[in-house]
Structure 1
Amino acid sequence: MAPGLPTAMDRPHFIGIGGAGMSGIAKILAQRGAKVAGSDAKESATAEALRALGATVHIGHAAGHLADDASCVVVSSAIRPDNPELVRAAELGVPVVHRSDALAALMEGLRPIAVAGTHGKTTTTSMLAVSLTELGLRPSYAIGGDLDAPGSNALHGDGDIFVAEADESDRSFHKYAPQVAIVLNVELDHHANYASIDEIYESFETFAGKIVPGGTLVISADHEGARELTRRLPDSVRTVTYGEAADADVRVLAIVPQGLSSRVTVLLDGQELTFGVSVPGRHYALNAVAALAAGAALGIPAAELAPALAAYTGVKRRLQLKGESAGVQVIDSYAHHPTEMTADLEAMRSAAGEARILVVFQPHLFSRTQELGKEMGQSLALADASVVLDIYPAREDPIPGVTSELIIEAARAAGADVTAVHDKAEIPAAIAGMAKPGDLVLTMGAGDVTDLGPRILDRLSQQ
């Protein structure tokens, strides 16, 4: 076994192995020498990438998929108690490990950077992974999205740094003990698990309290939720703030848009640094500054890290260009919370000039729509026209009275041009009928709306 592989995880079985968080852990364990197996609901490029690393991936869930010699079963909070493989694990007495515990075990003995926040975690984690790799530091990383190819969400590097996306949705980020933690922002989300913003603050306070002695919390000076969290933290937590606020420790002096990229100037330890960010939008520029501050807190020279950040060119589903057809560009956005939707639409507006922006939006989760449907509709008013699909349920059961109509009504009240489409199969033709050369089309949401990009491009090519 490779050094650092927990013996209890030398033959792990993952239920839902194709998920963004699960597949990354499985990939690292396979690269460390573990005999990895697992199951997922459907075939995918991620499943193929795992098989290429030697993992056994079953499609569908069945008790027989779990090998008798499995050393543990790894689950996420989305796995239901009646899953047949989980039931079989109980019958065999196989230990069940939450994915956060598995990830925490992989970080042991290394210098972890844990990236948290309601929005921007995947992008910031990716920026760190790419830039540290560019500097030859060979980090390990586990990210909630693919960088440039299926399976590229994780890597076992032989350096001493581990960069991880820290998920607050189910409080699993309480399991980590980072040397450097990042909190990008704090907002009420994940309504099935948090009843109030105070519960969110308490959860982030617990996360900050897990930073190892002598470690550092890098936190936004611009976001009011982050500032409130900073006020609540004890003096024992060493903080470094970043942002455009005048009192930020790492102060952003300028963000200059340059088409689908930007130039950022910061003041860090009395030194002005200017560097490029190869993705559009102010929010992504600020994510890069958070990454810069975190690297500096870990002892990496900022003058070396800043130019390396330009090597990051994006992650799948984060304003990812899917292609162009008939003069129309189709871009995929993972945004599903109003703050994210607004940020991505503003970034596109800045980059698009006079071009029209058309959105295909798929709401994600009934609970989120119930709480934030009005704000989602108001965000869509930033587009020139939008098509709204039915709610993608993911792990949730329907809530009576909660439909996409909540969003549509709010959007129209805000003056937006919005159309409801209930059948995804109708979307390519609908967009082809709306789009004109020069337009930008955004497929937006955390569900399977991402599958529509290629279909829209095919339909446009028939114009």
Structure 2
Amino acid sequence: MSLVKLIDPVPAGELGKVHFIGIGGAGMSGIARILLKRGVAVSGSDARGSGLLAELRELGATVHIGHAASHLKDADTVVVSTAIRDSNPELGEALRRGLRVIPRAAALAAVMAGRTGVAIAGTHGKTTTTSMLTVALQKAGADPSYCVGGQLVTTGLGADEGGGEVFVAEADESDGSFLMLAPDIAVVTNVEADHLDNYGDPQAVHDGFTRFTDRVGRILVVCADDPGADALAAVGRARGLKVLRYGEAEDADYRVTEVSPRGLGVTFQVEGPGIGRREVNLSVPGRHNALNATAALAVAVELGVPVDEVGEGLASFTGTKRRFEAKGEAGGVAVFDSYAHHPTELAADLTAARDVVASFSGEAGRVIAVFQPHLYSRTRFFADEFGAALGLADEAIVLDVYGAREDPEPGVSGALVARKVRLPAEHVVYAPDREQVPALVAGRARPGDIVLTMGAGDVTELGPRIVAELSAG
């Protein structure tokens, strides 16, 4: 899908009866949940059932499995997922009837209106940072509303209506729709080339984030360690925003030092304006999560939360589903699952995995990466970079491409990535048959190893099956 046409946001109170096409998606179901809790009539459809759909039904939504024009009934507004194609019969009917049709981001902007909006943007880390900030604010009693592109381990939810004034939201740049948001406070964790099927080239990605900065009302928080994000600091200042920079850079406003792995967590020091020097302990691993937590801390402090309470909230954060999520252990082998689908994300998670395995097994433990490339276009753009990232593992098993919304491309498959992996050939396997993967992993893993399944597709289903295969062995 090309970059969305930007429209003026409509206040939630003016949406009328709302119908969601693709209501089962993480972002779509979250907005539907919030509208239901506000008393708005909600209906929707999705290709297949899920636990999320059952929860929405319990809250009062009318949910259909499958798509048909008749499902719209007396809807006033239709919200469309980016995964929906122009041929969808419900979309066609909505356009024929002249109904208000808006993308997910416009619906998110509608439910954020009237609150103190905090939007977390960035090529990577936005789901975890949004989740960390949400949990820290909840722990401090701020009771924020939130909408995250994943599910919090603490609540099992990706979105909910809170009683406080703050609304925390993940801002998705993939199709440019984050430009529909107008937050009071924004975080940009990093800016790198991605979604080039939509943007065309890296400069267009940077231009999109610059335009996002124009939408911010008061405070901009950027990572000083990332050149793309840090370049926005000058843009923000020119717009009259308060700009805060965080990271390990010596001149960062919130400076991170002494990052130390600690089992499945990490400990670090942070110095910042008005907070002095503080130790922060996290229950999630990785240097990248120390940076994510620091961004959340900076925002929470700006919102007036005492820093000690922020630290306690961050310490209580136990993760987001599909972000280095533990799936089980058998035969001395621990299995984790990650949504990582960009080379930088793979590298961050595999580096964290090495820290974790070193903490538990020393030099004896190894990291086995099971990677499913996501999208043919992304695989074509980043095959070399994926290969380099997977070289951080000891063993790499590469599945075929999960095409999602894209049609296959000649010559683009998991084999293209497998050929680029910088490991000896005997430590790399191309596995086009997903059913063979659990046995492949069990045959290679040994006590003390970590297995990490990675990708934005259905590779997540393999974690429990790998644990079962290890148990059977």
TM-score category of the 2 structures, normalised to the smaller one: over 0.9
Helix, strand or coil at the partner of 2:419: helix
CA deviation profile, 1:291-341 (whole Å, cap 9, x unmatched): 011112233232331222111100000000011122221100111100000
C-alpha contact 2:36 2:60 (8 A) present in aligned 1 = yes
d(CA) in 2 for partners of 1:238 and 1:346?
33
Question: What residue number does 2:169 align with?
Answer: 164
| Aligned length, in residue pairs | 457
1:19 aligns with 25
Q: Contact (CA 8 Å) 1:358, 1:386: kept in 2 or not?
A: yes
Give unmatched runs, 5+ long, in structure 2: 1-9
- Residues 34 and 205 of structure 1, relative CA distance in 2, 3 Å threshold: same
Q: Which stretch of the first structure deviates more once superposed, 406-415 or 81-90?
A: 406-415
**Which residue of the other structure, out of 7, 13, 22, is the alignment partner of 1:7?**
13
Supply the distance in 2 between the matched residues of 1:86 and 1:221 (Cα, whole angstroms): 43
Following superposition, the deviation at residue 280 of structure 1 comes to 0.6
Q: Distance in 2 between matches of 1:399 and 1:300?
A: 50
Structure 2 Cα separation of the partners of residues 413 and 451 of structure 1:
26
SS at match of 1:316: coil
Residue of structure 2 aligned with 1:50, choices 27, 48, 56:
56
Aligned pairs for 1:48-197 (under 5 A) are 48-67=54-73, 69-148=74-153, 152-197=157-202
SS in 2 for 1:129: helix
Greater shift in the superposed pair: 401-410 or 115-124: 401-410
d(CA) in 1 for partners of 2:222, 2:110: 25
**Which residue number corresponds to residue 399 of structure 1?**
409
Kindly state the Cα deviation for residue 413 of structure 1 after the two structures are TM-superposed: 6.6
TM-score (norm. length: structure 2): 0.93
2:38 corresponds to 1:32: yes
Q: 2:422 & 2:262 partners in 1: Cα distance? A: 32
2:267 paired residue among 258, 263, 280: 263
Instruction: Give yes or no for contact 1:23–1:151 (8 Å, CA) kept in 2.
Output: no
Question: Secondary structure in 1 aligned to 2:106?
Answer: helix
Supply the RMSD in Å over aligned alpha carbons: 1.7
What residue ranges of structure 1 are gaps of 5+ in the alignment?
none
CA distance in 1, matches of 2:112, 2:188: 19
Letter in 2 for 1:405: A
Deviations along 1:103-159, one digit per CA (max 9) or x if unpaired, are 101111110110000000000000011110111111000000011289600010010
TM-score, scaled to structure 1: 0.95
Quote the Cα distance in structure 1 between the aligned partners of 2:53 and 2:213: 34
Residue aligning to 2:229? 226
Describe how 1:374-389 pairs up with structure 2 within 5 A: 374-389=384-399
1:201, 1:348 → 2: CA distance?
30
Query: Does the CA-based 8 Å contact 2:119-2:183 persist in structure 1?
Result: yes
8 Å contact kept, 2:336–2:453: yes
Mean Cα deviation higher: 312-321 or 297-306: 297-306
- 2:461 matched residue in structure 1: 451
For residue 242 of structure 2, the aligned residue among 238, 243, 246 is 238
Give me the whole-angstrom Cα distance separating, in 2, the residues matched to 1:417 and 1:197: 33
Contact 1:180 1:298 in 2 (8 A): no
Within a 5 Å distance, the mapping from 1:273-422 to structure 2 comes to: 273-353=278-358, 354=363, 355-412=365-422, 417-422=427-432
Of 216, 220, 225, 2:219 maps to 216
How many angstroms apart in 2 are the aligned matches of 1:220 and 1:180?
Answer: 14
Structure 1 residue matching 2:410: 3-state secondary structure: coil
Distance in 1 (alpha carbons) for counterparts of 2:459 and 2:334: 16
Letter in 1 for 2:14: A
- Contact 2:338 2:453 survives alignment (8 Å): yes
Q: Structure 1: which 4+ aligned runs deviate by more than 3 Å?
A: 231-234, 412-416
- Sort the Cα spacing of 1:303 and 1:259 in 2 relative to 1 into closer, same or farther, 3 A: same
Identity of aligned residues (%): 52
